[in-house]
Amino acid sequence: MRKIIVIVALGTLVLVILSGCKNQSMYPIGKDTVVAVLDGKFQIGKFSSGKKLEVFDESGDSTVLDDNVIKYKKVNKILYVIGDNFTVINGEKNTCTQFSSSNISSTAKSENGTVMTYIDSYDKFNDDEKKVFDELRK
């Protein structure tokens, strides 16, 4: 009888430990999240009005970086997004670069060390970034 109690207690302990080992994002990732980068800090989500690119701060509040995501591609830890803006989020370098082709003024917070850069010309993207955007626009 004592062995059964010890086995049940150990089994329960193992289950409790394993249930706490989930890979949880620091930022809220919901069922409408299409793709996430940097542990969920940048997300493309589905809304009734279409797909939007958002950045989350430490408190879980979001700022929309693009209201109209048309196409996107994730290559390794880099997310390329075409919508009202052209955006490159580099998960390895912790950077976000955005160009607005329609002169829309975008603002976002620079949180947790992410460097947000707004460029004034599409040509300021490097050749590799432009190549991915060109493929997406086809």
What span, in angstroms and rounded, lies between the C-alpha atoms of 19 and 44?
28
What span, in angstroms and rounded, lies between the C-alpha atoms of 97 and 124?
10
* Residue 104: partners with Cβ closer than 8 Å, 6 or more residues away: 84, 85
| Residue 127 pLDDT greater than 50, yes or no | yes
Q: Is the pTM of this model over 0.85?
A: no
Residue-averaged pLDDT of the chain: 80
How confident is the model at residue 22, as a pLDDT? 45
In the structure, what pLDDT confidence band is assigned to residue 115 with cuts at 50, 70 and 90? confident
What span, in angstroms and rounded, lies between the C-alpha atoms of 30 and 51?
14
3-class state of residue 67 by DSSP: strand
